[in-house]
Every structure is written in C-alpha cells, then in structure tokens.
Amino acid sequence: MLRVAIYIRVSTDKQVKDGDSMRDQLATGQKYIDSHENMILVDTYIDDGISGQKLKRDDFQRLIDDVRAGRIDLIIFTRLDRWFRNLRHYLNTQDILDKHGVSWTAIEQPYFDTSTPHGRAFVNNSMIWAELEAQNDSDRILGVFDDKVDNGEVLSGSTPLGYKIVNKHLVPDDDAPTAVAIFQYYRKTGNLSMTLRYMESEFGLVRSAASLKNMLTNTKYIGEFRDNKNYCPAIIDRDLFFDVQRLLKINIKSGKKHDYIFSGLVVCDDCDHIMSGCQQRAGGRVRADGTRIVYKYSVYRCRQGVNLHRCPNRKLVFETTLEKMLLERIRPELENYIAEYEVANLPALRTDAKRRSVEGKMQKLKDLYLNDLITMDEFKLDREKLLMQLEKINAEDSRPVKDLSYLKNFLKMDFESVYDSLSIPERRELWRSIVKEIRVDHDKNIHIIFL
C-alpha cells in the first residue's frame, strides 16, 4: 500500500471564486485515492493565503518533516502551481524527496511524472514558466501600486490615526487633533512608555511600543509617502515631525534608578558614541559613630574608553559642570550661531520663503480638486505651472534652510532665573528643545551643537 499525503494551497480569494478552493482540491485528492486500491491517505496538509513563491509555509514544513520521518510514499496535489512557483525552492525540495524515496503527482496534470528523466525535465521547464508568471503578476501589482501612490490614492483600507478615506484619498478626520497631541507629548517627554500611558489615560487608546513608534515615524503625517511629496494633507508640522525623529534615536527609557538631565545628548568627540550616565561615589566627612558619609554624583563617561579601552576619552564629566557651563555659554553662543547662520544662508532663506509659498498653493490646488471644485484638466494644468515655478526656485538655491524661530523665542525667555526651580525632567526638556549634541573630547573640551 502507498501511503499518500494530500497537499492543498490557496493563496487568494480569486482562486476560491475560480473553482480552486480548498474544498475542491480536497475532494479531487480524495477521489484520486479512492480510485486506486493500492493507496491509503496518511494526512492532509493545507496552507491557506500563502504564495507559492514562499518556502516557509506551516503545513508544507510539517509535510517535509513527515517525509524525513519516513511516513509518506506519495504526495498528491491538483496542479503543479499548488506545489511551487519558485524553481530553486522546488529543486531543493525535490532533493529531499529523492533522498527519502518519495514521489509526487499533479492529479489534473497527469503528464508530470517525476519517476523518469524526461518527465523530470518537463517538470523543471514548467517550473521556470510558473515562476515567470508569478513574478510578472508581482510586477503588475507593483506597477498598479506605484500609479496609485503617484495619484495620492490609498493602497489598502487601513489608515493612520487622524485620517479617513474619501474617494480613495486620505483626508484628516476628527481624530487629527489627537494625533497632533500624541506627537507633541512625545516631543515633550522623549519617552515611549510615558506616551503610551498618556494615550490610554487621555484618549483610551491602547497600543504597543512598536505600534506607537510606527505611528511617530509615518511620513503620511507630513503629507508624504514614498516618492510623492504631496500624497495627502499634512496634519503634523514638519518641524515637530523631524524633532520627534531626532528624539526617537535617543529615547529615554523608563525604570532607571537615576534620572539624567543630558541623557542621550552628551557625545564623545573622539569616537562619536553617546556617553552614558552613571553614579560616581565619593567619601565625605566621618560621622560621630565612625561611619563615613558617601556622596553620589551624576557623571557621563564614554564606555568605549572607560570600559572597553577602544577610545582615548576616559574622563568623567560631572553633570553639575555641564549645567554650569551651559548656563554661562548658552545665550552668547546661541546669539552668535543665529547671526552667523542667517548671514551665510541669506540667499537660501529668501528662496525657502518662495518655495513654501508655492508648496502652499499646490496643497490648496489639491484640496480644490478633492472637493470637486475644479476638474482634473484644470488641476493638471495649474499643477504643471506650479511645478515649473518650483523647479525654477530650486534651481536658484538648493540649500536646505532651518527655521530658527524657536531658537529666537528661546532667547526671549528668562530661563536663567527659573532654572534652579525646574525638576530634572523639566531641565532635560529645556536643553533638548535647543541642543542637538554636547560633544566632549578626552581633554574635556566642550562643544555645543544646536538644532
């Protein structure tokens, strides 16, 4: 008696509608076994919703395990494309079957015969065409997706928080202010765990850290997707969005024993690694009972130098020293930085203002079309004119320009007089709002880099 396994695979709903459902494949397989007196069914293996180009299929792997265990003599399926659509995967699997003396048959394609050289050559050629067909299908799908993106159309029914789908396009909905609040809260705290708790307590939204991070890095919030810079209306300010991206790289972790003001900001100028915060102990005076008072100080060190000896920077930088230095130097250095930047980028600043004006007009034009206030022909004509203006502006000066208004507003604050009353998280938020890095070398030279 031949021990027979039935293998069934359905990858799309379309195949079900076209008469290639799991039920149809199973019935065909059972009928084939019943028509042969020397066959007995061992088990049925079903993979639902999986492409034939993928090798990692749950029941397929279970089938191969049973082949290796010597439980199967023959595998049957309806057609060759149910078995594989990738020639390399087929050949590798066929090698396993040959080692264990297992044959297979495509019931609806009886001319496939793996027991003869000619039959195997025919199968190999058929697999090449099956793989080509699958790849062509993938290319066609990708082409359709690219066209949808170019025209600002959605690719699926899922939407980011704050958006809904109207006529195949993303438009802001009533949750848009919620999304803005989440971005603003993360910029304020720089902490994913705190932001997750905020989302749940304020808006009843329960998310994982990975889901929140995906949200905070989604460029659709600034109106961009893939190569389309005007994919949808933006609901997050670009400065806010990119500030959040910066903070995500130095995200503050919860549950630490000690809180550090400059966490993630202090960088070793010798090896470019972030210097980690730690506690330095120092003995003080002796009490009357003979015990010595031990003081703890927050310091920053380069682990590459202190722990791993891969960097010449093995100095400890006291947090109080950094605070004192910043409070003394921040105002004059910031004023000098703004003045030098504006003088060096004056032509680019003028160009950037023109660019923002044209981009604003393009967004308004898109809104008019989406609201059926202008026709497609009018939209294309006016958009082409605006694109020509934008190309001309970009040709004048392509240098990116920073918006320094937040730095100027910072200088208007009397932060020196209230600094001592701020908590550690508030001090951290203050410095993170204007400072990108505080670089320290092995001679303890300190260089401030502003945002």
192-203 vs 209-216: helix axis angle to the nearest 10? 90
Q: What is the CA 24 to chain-centroid distance, rounded? A: 40
Active site residue 11: yes
Whose structure tokens read 């380069």?
302
* 275 to 191, 268, 272, 289: CA distances (angstroms): 19, 6, 9, 39
Strand-pair partners of 166: 169
Contact 451, 434 (CB under 8 A): yes
* Token pair belonging to 93: 């699997």
**Burial of 224: CB neighbours in 10 Å, binned 0-12, 13-18, 19+:** middle
Contact 63, 47 (CB under 8 A): no
Residues 6 or more apart in contact with residue 206 via CB below 8 angstroms: 199, 200
The C-alpha angle 95, 98, 101, rounded to 5 degrees, equals 155
Q: What is the spatial distance between Cα 223 and Cα 232, in angstroms, rounded to a whole number?
A: 5
- Helix (H), strand (E) counts: the chain: 17, 12
Kind plus residue range of the DSSP H or E element containing 409: helix 405-412
Question: Which stretches does DSSP call E strand in 258-321?
Answer: 266-268, 276-286, 292-301, 317-318
R_g (Cα) of the chain, nearest Å: 32
Q: What is the spatial distance between Cα 47 and Cα 153, in angstroms, rounded to a whole number?
A: 32
Q: Single out the catalytic residue among 11, 126, 263, 298.
A: 11
Q: What is the spatial distance between Cα 238 and Cα 403, in angstroms, rounded to a whole number?
A: 10
Query: Which are the catalytic amino acids?
Result: 11
